[in-house]
Structure 1
Amino acid sequence: MNLELSAVWTRMQNLLQTFVVTIPNILIGLLVFLVFMGLARLARNAVTSLSQRAGQSKGIALVFSRIVSWLVLAVGVLVALTVIFPTLTAASLFGALGVSGVAIGFAFKDIFQNLLAGILILVTRPFRIGDQIVSGEHEGVVEDIQVRATLLRTYDNRRVVIPNSELYTNRVTVNTAYPQRRLSVTVGIGYGDDIAAARALILKTLGGLDGLLQDPAPSVLVRELGDFSVNLDVRFWIDPPVRREAVEAQDSVLEAIRGALPAAGFDLPFPTQQVLFHDQTEATDGNRAQQREGWPARQDNPESRLELQRKGNREATDAQPRSQVQHP
């Protein structure tokens, strides 16, 4: 028992002596890492300044400054490790990294894919920070383009994190790519109304609204002949093309048209349906041997409503008493 305790004590003394000897190396390694942290910050500021001078966007400057900063920090970590552990040489360290590089590549495939996609998005500039985009089911304002993902703030003030690879490979609609945007609303008028007069009235109404551009000018086209109305497609342009302006412009247009058309005698019809019975359409309706609705023909067909009505009329006529005619 005493021998076992003495062995444990000896081992603890050796560990303590090793730690005491390693303390100066740890302090020097931490100092080296702090120096590299300062160098990483200087490198990040330098890349940001160079990008701004070159006329690059804020997103490109941000991503490349982060990449350079991380590279400098990675070199600082390697140098600090070689200082703390003198037996760990740079050759052995890079050799170990080379052996595990394949495994790391497979493990972080998605991260590297998103990193490359983020760089390509910043270089090709399909959209920028501050643009309003639509990606799949999400729509909002681009707040930040990071190395791994893009941050999107929706109009109801929620944050959506979208991987850069998804944005780069899938379809993205940029609503603010151009200074002007065309919007449209659908308005239905009655079949008895004059389309040309309704078009002229709508264009006159849109000409008096604020926030709508007159160059390009608004237009009114017949969209379709609906079930209960003639649907007109009212098109107009706004500037700037942001979501708030679009919603407010559509609201003002619909409100103005809603007041102008009925005041001028135009109808805004409600959905209506017409239900006809068999005996209200054709003479053969109700006769399953002759009707055209797809009923199977049979020999013992019941009499149609029209036939029953005719028979009833004949029986009523026969039942009436004949008038007595007296001759002089």
Structure 2
Amino acid sequence: MDNQADQSFNTLQILVTQLRSMGEGIVSLLPSLVIALVLIILTWIVARFATKIADRLTARTKMRPSLRELVDTLVRIAIWAVGLMIALTILLPDLTPGSLIAGLGVGTVAIGFAFQDIFENFLAGILIMVREKMRIGDYISCEGIEGRVEQILLRETHIRKLSNELTIVPNSILFKNPVEILTDHDRRRHEVVVGVSYDTDLEEARQVIRTAVETADATDKEKPVDIFACEFNSSSIDFRLRWWSGSAQRDMHESRDAVIRSVKRALDEANIEIPFPYVTHTFKEAVPVASEAD
């Protein structure tokens, strides 16, 4: 019993000694803790002022809003990284800036492998913003994705389809694959194919079609109109019509509508036939074949 009492007393004494040592350590650490806390507060104040200054400087440029936000974020991160590093070296004197940077390097490599796709999209977003070729409101097509660019963020781009669905595309897809920017300029060339019968005077047909396209609504009268005979088709000789109009999708549809209606009206007035493909073939399939019994 005496031995058990002695062991309990020794354990309690060791615990008291440890608590006393921890208390003394905390008390001795208080000045450093206060200095580190003051340093963190100063870092917060400096980060706020630096972000405002960076925002004012970038506001004078033609940088897109998302790229300006990126600059503000990078300035804030850089200031906080320096402030926290200094605070840690004050709290832990044995922790030198060199060892801290080395540790951060190893951790960065591990995090990089774990979040490879996230960082890839992040860097692709930065490069897309810096390149500034694709703008908000542009109509683009990439890897079967087609629509109007609604927002460009650091990791993803929002594309609104004409049917009003929203597609969220990772920036790496837009950066690594060819992107067609259909509204890069306000004018774009459109084309359509129309066929005339084989007994038609092609020069007369060309002139009728040219006049119809040039006088159609929603076509650019200052740009040239091209009419090319392009193919001997099964039931017609085809002309490829090319003209200029607005680059927006609605402009394209309105222009094609106006040109097709104008060309059809002009060919009808000139008694030039637009053959219907496969009429003969369809008629032959509709005729029943006599059997041997008949």
TM-score, with length taken from structure 2? 0.72
Task: State the number of aligned residues.
Answer: 264
- Check the 8 A contact 1:133/1:142 in 2, yes or no: yes
Helix, strand or coil: the match of 2:73? helix
- Check the 8 A contact 1:188/1:230 in 2, yes or no: yes
Tell which deviates more after alignment, 223-232 or 125-134.
125-134
Shift of 1:28: 11
**Alpha carbons of structure 1 residues 218 and 66: separation in structure 2 relative to 1, 3 Å:** farther
1:245 is matched with: 251
Question: 1: distance between equivalents of 2:79 and 2:159?
Answer: 29
RMSD: 3.7
**Alpha carbons of structure 1 residues 89 and 179: separation in structure 2 relative to 1, 3 Å:** same
Structure 2 residue 133 is matched with structure 1 residue 126: yes
Question: 1: distance between equivalents of 2:84 and 2:73?
Answer: 16
Question: 2: distance between equivalents of 1:245 and 1:30?
Answer: 61
Structure 2 residue 199 is matched with structure 1 residue 196: no
Per-residue Cα deviation, 1:68-127 (whole angstroms, up to 9, x for no partner): 3444556677788899x8799675765543332221121122222222222222222332
TM-score, with length taken from structure 1? 0.65
**Alpha carbons of structure 1 residues 116 and 208: separation in structure 2 relative to 1, 3 Å:** same
Which consecutive unaligned segments of at least 5 residues does structure 1 have? Answer: 278-328
Q: Give the helix-richer structure, 1 or 2.
A: 2
- Check the 8 A contact 1:59/1:129 in 2, yes or no: no
Structure 2 residue 166 is matched with structure 1 residue 174: no
Per-residue Cα deviation, 1:129-176 (whole angstroms, up to 9, x for no partner): 222111110111222222112222222222222222221221111111
**Alpha carbons of structure 1 residues 264 and 34: separation in structure 2 relative to 1, 3 Å:** farther
Match of 1:225 among 209, 225, 232: 232
**Alpha carbons of structure 1 residues 225 and 124: separation in structure 2 relative to 1, 3 Å:** same
Question: 1: distance between equivalents of 2:89 and 2:193?
Answer: 71
2:119 is matched with: 112
Question: 2: distance between equivalents of 1:221 and 1:258?
Answer: 17
- Check the 8 A contact 1:152/1:160 in 2, yes or no: yes
Which consecutive unaligned segments of at least 5 residues does structure 2 have? Answer: 1-7, 285-294
Q: Which has the higher contact order (CA 8 A, sep 6+)?
A: 2
Shift of 1:42: 4.6
Match of 1:161 among 161, 168, 187: 168
Helix, strand or coil: the match of 1:127? coil
Structure 2 letter corresponding to 1:114 = N
Per-residue Cα deviation, 1:196-222 (whole angstroms, up to 9, x for no partner): 212211222223233211221222111
Alignment of 1:1-328 (within 5 A): 40=47, 42-72=49-79, 91=97, 94=101, 96-239=103-246, 241-272=247-278, 274=280
Asked which structure has the greater CA Rg, the reply is 1
Question: 2: distance between equivalents of 1:71 and 1:197?
Answer: 72
Q: Percent identity?
A: 33
Helix, strand or coil: the match of 2:190? strand
